[in-house]
Amino acid sequence: MTTVIDHHTDTVVVGAAPLRPEDVVAVARHGARVELDAVALERIAASRILVEDLADDPEPHYGISTGFGALATTFIATPRRAQLQASLIRSHAAGTGAEVETEVVRALQLLRLQTLATGHTGVRPVVALTYAGMLNSGITPIVREYGSLGCSGDLAPLSHVALAAMGEGDVRTATGELTSAGDALAEAGLEPLVLREKEGLALINGTDGMLGMLLIALHDLSVLLETADIAAAMSIESQLGTDAVFAADLMALRPQVGQAASAANLRAYLGDSPIVASHKGPECTRVQDAYSLRCAPQVHGAARDTADYARSIAFRELSSAVDNPVITDDGRVESNGNFHGAPVAYVLDFLAIAVADVASISERRTDRALDPARSHGLPPFLAHEVGVDSGLMIAQYAAAGIVSELKRLAVPASVDSIPSSAMQEDHVSMGWAAARKLRRGIDGLARVLAIEVLTGARAIDLRAPLQPGPATGAVRDLVRTVVRGPGHDHFLSPDIEAVTDLVISGQVAAAAEGAVR
């Protein structure tokens, strides 16, 4: 992967208060700079004094003068402790598979830096400053797809980052060039870290990878759920459905928050639509629409509520100091289990279920538009010349194939556990795996929604001379800037990709919202 970091002009201050989700996205995706709060640096220095005092204690202290995991009872003499920390990082940087995306690596770098800034990890200030310097220089360590079980933290992914801070391993530069960590640090004017007591452990005990992916997913999903509502509105309108079922008093009979928000969107997007108005009279014999049209706010709303719950867990995790052992406020060094990823893993899995279901109902609406038995007057597959042209037939195949995969990706990762470290770590969260499959799910949902928007735009055009409402019309017009209108068949894949870009960028949602403000 050769992602070029688009440096953002904003600066995110780390350590003054918990990071906000938008801070993480700004640094991870847009290259915003980071700055360590001065008080946070003082906290870090104060906790380091305590660690150094314990390092001189003849009594063993886990992570400071002992081995790790199943080797926690092995005392390590002072002359060997630098080797102990370096060996920990080298041995744990055991990821394999494809490179993880730059934005994910930057997110976990930033989140580990935030934990260091709490003063609960016992590292020296130079460690935190080095991580900040790497982020600001665009140095992105190579992290591999597989290696984390989501317990004791995202050990392997975080170890790859720590290894790069030591000047070892490979990294990507801000321009995407692959180079050695040592060369990249030198170019940035950063000295490779020589880790001391506790520091290796402090750099790898965290849920930062899975949390970073959760925060990015929630950011993207907020756009996609708005897009799902406008896509549904285009389908309802073009298939001569009714908006009466979305009335506020009907929604109030079932006071689900997300459902009400989605229904409000549908009312707004279908409001003032000449197409909808054309069949509202007593001559209309349709009693009620199919579930995929009528129940859109119930499904989309449930996804919204799930995302809100996931967001509450993410906020709590952003306020956490995840390390083991941890330096408490009153100066104790205590072992704990806060590195276990279960809280994050569960909501990652919940979101994968919601993503699959929103995509599923979207594909059903697309399929209805292409079937003359159910589309209420539209040509088969929205083809220009039926028989000669296939129209959007295979676009629906693509959506169906994606939905099928999303259903497989909805199988929860967090119910699995494989014991490790000679049964010391005998229950793990699999949160990293849950996050990885959610990322693929988010991409799939964007493409399924893009196919529905593409289909809805063509179906709306085929209702001429009737005109769409302001919101659906604005989206149709946006689509027409990248895709031509109805006509004979042409190369369809670029159309799907172009509309997918409009969906992912938020332009589809923005066009609809702008039309109803």
31: β partners: none
Mean pLDDT of 108-132: 97
Inform me whether the pLDDT recorded for 66 exceeds 90.
Answer: no
Q: Determine the pLDDT at residue 420.
A: 81
Give the mean pLDDT of the chain.
Answer: 93
Confidence of residue 417 (pLDDT cuts 50, 70, 90): confident
Inform me whether the pLDDT recorded for 44 exceeds 90.
Answer: yes
Inform me whether the pLDDT recorded for 1 exceeds 50.
Answer: no
Q: What would the pLDDT profile of 179-199 be if each residue is shown by its tens digit? A: 999 999 999 999 999 999 999
Confidence of residue 285 (pLDDT cuts 50, 70, 90): low
Give just the sign of the alpha carbon dihedral 246, 447, 497, 461: negative
Inform me whether the pLDDT recorded for 301 exceeds 70.
Answer: yes
Q: How many CB atoms lie within 10 A of CB 97?
A: 11
Q: Determine the pLDDT at residue 76.
A: 76
Confidence of residue 78 (pLDDT cuts 50, 70, 90): confident
Long-range contacts of 368-373 (CB under 8 A, 24+ apart): 368/235, 368/239, 368/290, 368/292, 368/293, 369/235, 369/238, 369/239, 369/455, 369/456, 369/459, 370/396, 370/455
Inform me whether the pLDDT recorded for 399 exceeds 80.
Answer: yes
pTM: 0.94
Q: DSSP 3-state assignment of 326? A: strand
Q: Determine contact, residues 192/165, Cβ cutoff 8 Å.
A: yes
Q: Determine the pLDDT at residue 77.
A: 77
Mean pLDDT of 271-285: 86
Mean pLDDT of 387-414: 97
Q: Active-site positions?
A: 62
* Residues whose CB is less than 8 angstroms from the CB of residue 288 and which lie 6 or more positions away in sequence, other chains included: 242, 245, 294
Inform me whether the pLDDT recorded for 62 exceeds 80.
Answer: no
Token code pair at residue 412: 């929860």
Confidence of residue 60 (pLDDT cuts 50, 70, 90): confident
Q: DSSP 3-state assignment of 435? A: helix
Q: How many CB atoms lie within 10 A of CB 291?
A: 12
In angstroms, the CA 348 to CA 194 distance is 35
Residue with tokens 């609406």: 365
Q: Determine contact, residues 123/44, Cβ cutoff 8 Å.
A: yes
How far is C-alpha 141 from the chain's CA centre? 19
Q: Determine the pLDDT at residue 69.
A: 62
Q: Determine the pLDDT at residue 71.
A: 63
Inform me whether the pLDDT recorded for 287 exceeds 80.
Answer: no
Q: What would the pLDDT profile of 423-462 be if each residue is shown by its tens digit? A: 777 788 889 999 999 999 999 999 999 999 999 999 999 9
Q: DSSP 3-state assignment of 33? A: strand
Q: How many residues belong to the chain?
A: 517
* Domains of the chain, start order: 11-206 (1.10.275.10), 214-324+334-416+429-516 (1.20.200.10)
Q: Which one-letter amino acid corresponds to residue 49?
A: I
Q: H helices of 246-295, where?
A: 248-252, 257-270, 274-277, 291-294
Provide Rg for the chain, Cα atoms: 26
Inform me whether the pLDDT recorded for 400 exceeds 90.
Answer: yes
Q: Which one-letter amino acid corresponds to residue 460?
A: I
Closest C-alpha among 410, 415, 407 to residue 431: 415
Q: Determine contact, residues 216/23, Cβ cutoff 8 Å.
A: no
Q: What would the pLDDT profile of 163-183 be if each residue is shown by its tens digit? A: 999 999 999 999 999 999 999
Q: Determine the pLDDT at residue 68.
A: 66
Closest C-alpha among 276, 324, 317 to residue 435: 317
Inform me whether the pLDDT recorded for 329 exceeds 50.
Answer: yes
Confidence of residue 4 (pLDDT cuts 50, 70, 90): very low
Inform me whether the pLDDT recorded for 218 exceeds 60.
Answer: yes
Confidence of residue 8 (pLDDT cuts 50, 70, 90): low
Closest C-alpha among 157, 125, 124 to residue 141: 157
Q: Which has the minimum average pLDDT: 189-203, 316-330, 338-352? A: 316-330
Inform me whether the pLDDT recorded for 121 exceeds 90.
Answer: yes
